Amino acid sequence: MNENQLIVNFAPHIRSKVSTHTIMRDVIIALMPALVAAVINYGPYTLAIVAVSVAAAVVSEYLMEKIIKKKNTISDLSAVVTGIILAYCLPAGIPLWMAAFGSAVAIVIVKQFFGGIGQNFANPAATARIILFVSFAGPMTDWVTGYPDVVSGATPLATGTASYMDLFMGRIGGSLGETCKLAILIGLVYLLVRKIITWHTPVCFVGTVFVLSALAGTDPVYAILSGGVLFGAVFMATDYVTTPSTKLGRAIFGIGCGAITVLIRQFCNYPEGVSFAILLMNIMAPHIERWTSSKSFGGAKK
Amino acid sequence: MRHLKGVKVPHLKHTTHQEPVRMSVPPVVKIPMAMHIGAPCRPIVEVGDEVKVGQKIGEPAGFVGAPIHSSVSGKVTSIERMQLFNGRFDTVIIESDGNQTVSDEVVPPQINDTESFLKAVRECGLVGLGGAGFPTSVKLTVKEPAHVEYLIVNGAECEPYLTSDFTTMTTDTDAMIRAINAVCKYIGIRNVIIGIEDNKPEAIDIFKKRASEIDAEFQVKSLPSMYPQGGEKVLIYSCTGRVVPAGKLPLDVGCIVMNVTTLAVLGKYLETGMPLIEKCVTVDGSAVKNPGKVIAPIGASIREVVETLGGYKSVPKKILMGGPMMGMAVPSDECPVVKNNNGFTIFNEKDAIQPEETECINCGRCVATCPLRLMPNRIARAYKLKDVDALKELDIMTCMECGCCSYVCPAKKDLVGTNKLSKALVSGK
């Protein structure tokens, strides 16, 4: 036997089957119920928005990595996830080019400019959504409801008139993937069962919104069923890269997101604060991670 | 009882119920003089000397060491420095005469007090057979015997594939009990706990049935099959709830941990005087034709051990001394069986290739998994910056290198490898 043929490397020599690719695949699966709900509530144009957004994300990631001569990472599916999540943040009547523009911003500016997967400090979809809001305030708040009898109107978060059931099933105006709470909850259960996320962030985020809204004298059930709270808590505030890696840190992150969301809703001239809340907490994430570092087994108190 | 975190690794213990096969005497054995923690032994035979089975051929160079004995009868043909998995060391090469004539030195030891007991343990050539290879006589030399409350017997065998400790527990129970009683008597220990993972119910039953034969307070702990249950600090916590502080030894919390096979070898030595010259090794993995267990003389080559079972099924691409979680990859199948070998895991090309590394996505799986509550993700970032202060702050020296972090990492990072390099960086090596 030729001795040089043996591979010598550090242990361990077996690895779990979970990879970045399988994690992203599971997130995509968890996002699918919301897609079904969006098509039912807002019509087939929804599919075009999601397809364009995903395509723009993948193509811009591919081109960007080509230009800066980095290893191609589109096969890890993270760009697909960003594309879907951004599309879900958009209103049903948005021009397709705007969706494509938003996705490209998310991938090129928020993700690749900071070093690509694992390096970006801000959630790409949340940040791109804010950029779209600021750039195209009109189309970004033109909430379309009642497919097939299309009418546009204000978000129920601003009007406060929808029934709990309509809010829960997504039969309201709003962003594509955010309105049907049932679909989001199905996705949440899938993510928890597959151990992709832990309960800490979503529960603390939604719980904080509930408690603080009640304290502020508003209807707490309405507060958590309207707007992007649930979607943000399940799919955006749980993004690994931009949130703390400790369980306690994730709980604190969720509480912070919830608190900022309620502050914006209560005191700002702006109906929805989830994206801003997540972005602000993204900035805090490295600090929270450091504060919540575990004491090692048998180690001295720090 | 609370347990530390870890990973549920696949058990892959295909060879559990196989009878070990005794290997025929190899024509040549290569016995390295470095098979323990501490300075290597000095050969006390010369080229041309006739040696017999059980004859001492290597004398430890210091207190931390264990003598080495010949596993065959025959003639010393050369003493040369050989490249082994752990470095280049003097190796005594003996041509076997095939007779296996037993040396006159092999007589049951006379033991009447602690001193003579420790001398016997030393002369047996015993080292920790769970893998670390720490000289047993050194471990048992305690300054204040009154502080030793527990003897913890490590029967966890948490590595995938390996089943040799199971065989020891189920077939060498007499020898183990003899050794446990001797250790309790001469070191003065009143409590014995044997910790066995619950995937070995037969072994648990045997010790429950024979509890009365142990002359001490005896408990059998059925432990969750959760890697690394057999890690020393982990086992002590699972069995007693005691926390070994960072940088301290089990003795500092009143515990001595001994592997089941170490005890079995000691038990046999007390009866027969035959020192540690052979090992039962598990041979498994995708490149092995007939996985099984082999009783091999120390110094036989891995190739000969595998051939005893019918050889390779496919071209071996990686050979591990031990199991896949902590086993060390060896450079060649001509490497000899050493004292602290408990198995060989041999992979074909497909299993030998490590998956490609991608970027860390800060998922926190390594943090959630580390039994000692370290943060491998932050350690890796600190190592990249060669930030020694941050590495100290992150308690890097606590890492026991169990490999759970690398196992669970979705980016397939070599996290435990980075930990090893970080430890070297901090300790200035």
pLDDT, tens digit, for every residue of B406-419? 999 999 999 999 99
Beta-strand relationship, B318-321 and B343-347: antiparallel
Residue with tokens 């916590």: B237
Closest to B394 measured CA to CA, from A288, A248, A295, A292: A295
B17: left (phi over 0), alpha (psi -120 to 50) or beta: alpha
Contact residues on chain B for A3, CB-CB shorter than 8 A: 331-332, 334
pTM equals 0.93
Average pLDDT of chain A to the nearest whole number = 91
Q: How far is B302 from chain A (nearest CA, A)?
A: 12
The per-residue pLDDT of chain B, averaged, comes to 94
Which residues 6+ apart lie within 8 Å of A301 measured at CB? A295
Residue holding tokens 């074909």?
B348
Residue B87: CB atoms within 10 Å: 11
Q: Tokens 């005497």 correspond to what residue?
A: B25
For residue range B286-304, list pLDDT tens digits in order: 999 999 999 999 999 999 9
In this predicted structure, what is the pLDDT of residue B132? Answer: 80
Instruction: Name the minimum distance, in Å, from the CA of A82 to any CA of chain B.
Output: 14
Report residue A282's pLDDT band, with 50, 70 and 90 as the boundaries. Answer: very high
Q: Are B333 and A15 within 8 A, CB to CB?
A: no
Tell me, letter by letter, the H, E, C secondary structure of chain A: CCHHHCCCCCCCCCCCCCCHHHHHHHHHHHHHHHHHHHHHHHCCHHHHHHHHHHHHHHHHHHHHHHHCCCCCCHHHCHHHHHHHHHHHCCECCCCHHHHHHHHHHHHHHHHHHHCCCCCCCCCHHHHHHHHHHHHCHHHHCCEEECCCCCEEECCHHHHCCCCHHHHHHCCCCCECCCCCHHHHHHHHHHHHHCCCCCCHHHHHHHHHHHHHHHHCCCCHHHHHHCCCHHHHHHHHCCCCCCCCCCHHHHHHHHHHHHHHHHHHHHHCCCCCCHHHHHHHHHHHHHHHHHHCCCCCCCCCCC
Of the pLDDT bands very low, low, confident and very high (cuts 50, 70, 90), residue A156 is low
Helix axes B376-384, B415-426, angle to 10 degrees: 60
Which of the two residues, B208 and B85, has the higher pLDDT score?
B208
Q: What's the pLDDT at A146? A: 52
> What are the Cα distances from residue B155, in Å, to A57, B10, B79, B140, B261?
53, 18, 36, 19, 9
- What is the ipTM, given to two decimal places? 0.91
Chain B residues touching residue A252 (CB < 8 angstroms): none
Picking from A142, A30, A29, A167, the residue whose alpha carbon sits closest to that of residue A90 is A142
Q: Does A240 touch chain B (CB under 8 A)?
A: yes
DSSP B105-150: T--PPP--SHHHHHHHHHHTT-B-TTTT--BHHHHH--S-GGG--E
Q: Closest partner residue to A245 among B352, B364, B408, by Cβ? A: B364
Query: Is residue B84 over pLDDT 90?
Result: no
Taking contacts as CB-CB distances below 8 angstroms, the residues of chain A near B235 are none
Return the higher-pLDDT residue of A276 and B83. Answer: A276
**A246 in contact with chain B, both atoms CB, cutoff 8 A:** yes
In angstroms and rounded to an integer, the radius of gyration of the C-alpha atoms of chain A is 20
Spell out the domains of chain A, with CATH numbers in brackets: 20-291 (1.10.3430)
Estimate the share of chain B in helix, then strand, then coil, as percent rounded to the nearest 5.
Answer: 30, 25, 45
When pLDDT is cut at 50, 70 and 90, the band that residue B156 belongs to is: very high
Residues 6+ apart with CB under 8 A from B276: B69, B124, B125, B126, B127, B265, B269, B298, B339
Label residue A268 by pLDDT band (50, 70, 90): confident
Choose the weakest-confidence range: A21-25, A137-141, B265-269, B334-338. Answer: A137-141
* Interval B382-429: pLDDT, tens: 999 999 999 999 999 999 999 999 999 999 999 999 999 999 999 986
**If you average pLDDT over residues B138-142, what whole number do you get?**
93
Mean pLDDT for B336-353 is 94
Residues of B in contact with A76 (CB under 8 A): 358
Residue B305 contacts residue B337 (beta carbons within 8 Å): yes
> What pLDDT score was predicted for residue A252?
98
Q: Residue B325 and residue A11: Cβ atoms within 8 Å?
A: yes
Contact flag B318-A15 (C-beta cutoff 8 Å): no
Are B267 and B101 contacting, i.e. CB atoms less than 8 angstroms apart? Answer: no
Q: Would you state the CATH architecture of domain B114-272?
A: 3-Layer(aba) Sandwich (3.40)
The minimal CB distance from B329 to the residues A7, A14, A298 is found for A7
Q: What is the pLDDT of residue A145?
A: 63
Task: Indicate yes or no: CB of A240 within 8 angstroms of CB of B362.
Answer: yes
Asked if A1 reaches chain B (Cβ–Cβ under 8 Å), the answer is yes
DSSP B288: B
- pLDDT above 70: residue B83: yes
User: Per residue in B240-253, pLDDT tens?
Assistant: 999 999 889 999 99
**Which residues of chain A are within 8 Å of residue B406 when distances are taken between CB atoms?**
10-12, 15
Interface probe with B: pick from A1, A4, A10, most Cβ of B within 10 Å: A10
Nearest CA in chain B to A245: B364
When pLDDT is averaged across residues A6-17 and rounded to a whole number, the result is 93
Question: Residue A242 and residue B35: Cα distance in Å, rounded?
Answer: 47
Q: Residue A270 — very low, low, confident or very high, per pLDDT cuts 50/70/90?
A: confident
Residues 6+ apart with CB under 8 A from B297: B23, B25, B26, B29, B71, B72, B277, B278, B337
Which residues, listed in sequence order, are joined to residue B321 by a DSSP beta bridge? B328, B344
Domain positions in chain B are 114-272, 365-426
| Interchain CB distance below 8 Å, A293 and B332 | no
State pLDDT tens for residues B41-69. Answer: 999 999 999 999 999 999 999 999 999 99
The pLDDT score that the predictor gives to residue A148 is: 54
pLDDT digits (tens, 9 = 90+) for A35-92: 999 999 999 999 999 999 999 999 999 999 999 999 999 999 999 999 999 999 999 9
Alpha carbon of B397: minimum distance to chain A alpha carbons (Å) = 10
CB contact under 8 A, B411 and A118: yes
- Residue where the block lists tokens 């052979």: B278
